[in-house]
Amino acid sequence: MTAIGRASRGRDEVILLAHGDGGALTNELVKGVFFKYFRSDTLRLLSDAAVFNVEKGRLALTTDSFVVDPIFFSGGDIGRLAICGTINDLAVSGARPLYLAASFMIEEGFALSDLERVLSSMSVACRAAGVSVVAGDTKVVGRGHLDKIFITTTGVGVVPEGVDLGYHRLLPGDLVLINGSVGNHGLAVLAAREELGFGDQIESDCAPLNRLIDKLTRRFNGIKIMRDLTRGGLATAAKEIASAAGVDFWLTEKAIPLDAQVYGAAEMLGLDPLYLANEGKFLMVIDVAQANAALDLMRGDRLGRQACIIGEVRKGSGKVYLKTLPGGTRLLDLLAGAPLPRIC
């Protein structure tokens, strides 16, 4: 295999501007590096577009860009995020993810070994989800023009017949479920970025949820809506659903799963776990009659062991209330700006 853009200094090979030119070096990079990790036959055709058959039904399409800093953190990295994030957006919309496209914008000087680490992680995530990257693009920009690497993934999926999710379906009495503990990803990234020294005690929960969600949607037609918990955390997701559906959510603080380490770290930093990001958790609103069975199914899955019923839907106007541990009531609203740690 030819050496890819060997840099003049040291043994660390780096990405050069020429790798984004579309010429020989790009070709070497795609075939020699990207193809090691993305094995789709469609991709390997290297045509200008991936062409594939689709089953009858409604298509779902989503896209997301990933610019997380730092790119490597406990429990994941930007590559894993890029795959799981897009797959999960499709899954919570009721779609079975079919294919992904991935475009990479890379800073000149980015270490090849880091690129391979990111791609390898993407490959592992794709395998776990059973979804392939079938189209891609690579650009390289000058040093300082972006921060190491940005990835955009676009995903297409199909919503099976009979799956009907939407705000219109929410009714007072529906229950709100979550598949596990909150705040893990947000804290893991913060800890890595600020070098807080938590080691591996707090790990991102980044994971592809499509298989678990598929099991749920196949069995339960009482699922009204689902929402991926990303930036803004549980509170924001709940608020968005409640506002859009014009109902009130009543959540119980005691019921919300929280890992002891996340709880402790958030306390120390003065952050509220209800507003910290997750990448492997989703909210599900389901008919009360099916809630317990759905809970059992989730708890039988690796990604749902700590699943809980955390609240219910009531008639209202888009507010989210939290019954606090001492028995009080607190309003959960959208955050203005990023959560800021306390001064004293």
Partner 1 sequence: MWVLDKLRDPGLCGRLLERVKKLAADAVSHLGRPAVFMEVCGTHTTAISRAGLRGILAGSLELRSGPGCPVCVTDIQEIDQMLGYARLRGITVATFGDMIRVPGSNTSLEQERARGADVRVVYSPADAVSLAESLPGRQVVFFGVGFETTTPMVALSLAEANSRKLKNYSVFSVHKVVPPVLHALVAEEDLLVDGLILPGHVSAITGRAAFDFLSDKFGIPSVITGFEPFDILGALCQLLEMVLSGRAEVQNGYGRVVREEGNKEAQGIIHKFFYVADASWRGFGSIPGSGLLLKREFSGLDARHRFPIPMLPLRPSKGCRCGDLLKGKITPAQCPLFAGACTPAKPVGPCMVSSEGACSAYYRYERGNGQ
- Judged by the rule CB under 8 A, the positions of this chain that interact with partner 1 are 194, 254, 260, 263-264, 267, 269-270, 319, 321-331, 333, 335-337, 340-344
Q: For partner 1, which is the closer residue by CB, 162 or 326?
A: 326
Give Cβ neighbours of residue 127 (< 8 Å, ≥ 6 apart): none
CB of 232 to partner 1, least distance (A): 13
CB of 134 to partner 1, least distance (A): 38
Q: For partner 1, which is the closer residue by CB, 124 or 335?
A: 335
Q: For partner 1, which is the closer residue by CB, 244 or 335?
A: 335
CB of 199 to partner 1, least distance (A): 17
CB of 328 to partner 1, least distance (A): 2
CB of 194 to partner 1, least distance (A): 6
Q: For partner 1, which is the closer residue by CB, 68 or 134?
A: 68
Q: For partner 1, which is the closer residue by CB, 3 or 343?
A: 343
CB of 240 to partner 1, least distance (A): 16
Q: For partner 1, which is the closer residue by CB, 53 or 329?
A: 329
